[in-house]
Chain A
Amino acid sequence: MGIIFHIDANSAYLSWTAVHMLECGHPVDLREVPSVVAGDPKSRHGIILAKSIPAKEYGIKTGESLMEARGKCPELFVAAPDYDLYLDCSDAMFSILSQFSPLVERYSVDECFLDYTASEKRFGNPLKTAHRLREKISGELGFTVNVGISTNKLLAKMAGELKKPDMVHTLWPKEIEKKLWPLPVRELFMVGGATERKLRKLNIRTIGDLAKADPVVLQALLKSHGLKIHDYANGIDSARVLPNDLVLQKGFSNCVTLSWDITDREEAHTALLSLTERLAMRLRTSGKAAYLVSISVCTSTFFHYSRQEKLHNPICTTTVCYQHFKRLFDKTWRGEPVRQLGVRVSELAESDEYQLSFSEAESEKEKCLERTVDGIRKRFGNNAVIRGTFANSSLPPMQGGVNDGNYLMMGGYRHENFGGTG
């Protein structure tokens, strides 16, 4: 049986900001006062990205608006996010973990899975190593982590969530009944608000209830997801710890909350194009082409809708992707002010291996042109070549993503950004 560690930085963005500010001579540790990391409210990005434990006691939640949070706690300290710093912290944490096992999966910017199975011979008792790891990270990097230990990824993750901060927990299969089952069902990985509501109808309130429920009934209610969460509640998960280059990307998406509500169709199209520029560039960099395109719209009254369409030929050029997004948007949009726009492509295929068609969507010439533009942007910065539409526009030529898109939440790779600001 394997031994898997799950390492999770405690209130990552906030503690990373706090450590950095202390290092720069800030007199107060943000982790000890009511504080949050939030975007700039002027550009309408003022939502809470992370909160300190004292802020949590005021009832402040991640994802709510800064205004609501200030209402709950007027003396709240607000820090701006610094994504370069977060990536440095994440890289440093990953490099410490790599000293303990060759198999570390970067699950997100602040979470990693570590396969300890083969390292046990070298480092000994997993519990002792986990404490060593925790102390090493807090000593060297200045922030605390939770370590969960078990036999598979799911149980390790659930163990890591048990009690925070700066703790090590085990959740071996024999401990499931005692440690996992009394928790509310919402705490289980892959159970969100919607699933919780459905499960409540079956009188399933704890993870234990779910584990003992009839899988046939769960399947009838939630389809295959029902069977999955039933397995999870029983601590069954066969997923392996994979190094990030082997994790398969299933789709690409890009989304932006606009600084002002868009009411004009042409302006909305321009915003779609600026989102597509970044999306299609990422798609091409990965060497893939997509069969499925979709858009999502959020109106000024926070009403969400989305549309998707399956294509006959896979696409990867900005121009063709944009044409599809534009068409979908025109089909769906009913003229209401738009607050947020999102584009997504999925059902990926290798861009050079697909069925040829008489009605080819993209010409070789177009692909070649876009490859050249990608090359120029990679070398001289994203703003080295921009479309004429953006020359006198108040919209940036590329939108979406954090840190100007030069940042990947889910491990992966880092783009080099020369000279350009975009």
Chain B
Amino acid sequence: MCEECGCGDPELVAVEMHESLLEGNAKNARHNRDHFARAGVLAVNLMGSPGSGKTALLEATARARRSLQLAAMSGDLATDRDAVRLEKAGIPARSITTGSACHLDAEMVHRALHHLPISGLDALVIENVGNLVCPAIYDLGQHVNVVALSVTEGEDKPLKYPVMFRKADLVVLTKVDLLPYLEFDLDALTDAVAKTMPAPRIIPVSARNGQGIDRWLAWLEEQKAQFVKAPVTDAGLVSADDHAHEHHRHPVQA
């Protein structure tokens, strides 16, 4: 009721707020981050266009990885083809089928964590849905963001998709074995990356001939050393088949 005269007309009330629309996802991402920290695993969010070579990069990583223990989650709209390819390459993998969603969010990753043991791993790679737009704004709880950019996509992609590249810790330039057949300007890419990435870093690789894969592996080791402490194994909080911990116990699922 109107307080001025009691006439019964509704009163207009202004409310100041400050609430991020991504807060729900951010909360789930913090929870995932806690899982990764407890398991002592580096979490990598691997993004890039469809066909940029994300899965091929992981296959080449599996062939060259030496002692590095990896597992992967693969986000795809409609199939589990990427996860099947990774399993075949020797990387334990879980498919996340998003239906029509154009990106992974922290809750989808958390659900997949129920089915993929992560303790004892060095790194969990979360292969996002192929897309240079939407995946960039969803925190999954990862330690690092990696963008796979293939030489056939052109050197101006960072300028066209600044949000994605701003969030990247590393650009893996893929398919460099094709460079002799293209007019790709590496200096122009370096310039575009410097304008969009605060700490620009590019590693050129070829999944086909193995070029640069050692540098990529060394980068993963560096990140693990920087971000990951020893796993929490006391009190049985983390085990191979169950990622339960004190504020949240999951049933072990088949």
Please determine whether chains A and B interact with each other in the same assembly: no
Q: Chain A: residues with CB nearer than 8 A to chain B? A: none
